[in-house]
Structure 1
Amino acid sequence: MRLYRLALAALIMLFASTALAADYYVDITNRTGYTIMYMYVSPAKSKSWEEDVLGNDVMRNGTTQRVNLRGYNSPIFDIRLKDEDGDTYTFWKVDVSRQDITVTLDDLD
């Protein structure tokens, strides 16, 4: 009986930890007048930026890009965009479950 309880407890902990992970997305609209070359989205608690989510693509002015964020424990992310001139636009602690981003020149770092 004790072995059964231990196995059940382990199973509950496994499901509880995976239940915390969720999928999110954020729509980012470029209204800077410039082409966005790089887009980095990292969990707010991260100490470094994750890989460029645009890859080989770019984000032209006036377009919107959806970024899918799968398997994270929190909807709070930091977002950094870098345009064709090397200028950056950084958004700290964005709750992507409640907010999308429209980036303009007013957001220039």
Structure 2
Amino acid sequence: MTVRSVVRRGVALVNLGVTALMDAPVVGRLVRRGMVEIRYTGRRSGQTFQTPVAYRRSGDQVVIGVSAPDLKTWWRNFGGDGGPITLLGLDGADRTGHAVSRRDERGAVTVTVTLDPPS
């Protein structure tokens, strides 16, 4: 078993725990203040993926800071001109938008989502 596969298993377990907390009756509302689950389609695979992420919001912009970006690949789907994304349960409803990832000179990665108007 490689280090990378161990890390991926660990991340999968943490994601399951976070998702469970987001759905919990008592603490879910508190957790969802700074966490949201995203859904996107992989550029190469065409598969649909979901993962919880921490976010900051200002109006119709949502910024997702990608911790340990070199260990993760999901954000690479939004390089260049970016692509479509869905934020599940944001404002009590699923919200779609356009996401673009950027890596700064220090190597930090952020994904900026411009939300579509509510339907």
Q: Under TM normalisation by the shorter chain, which class is it? A: 0.3 to 0.5
Relative contact order, CA 8 A, sep 6+: which one is greater?
1
The two structures have a TM-score, normalised by structure 2, of 0.34
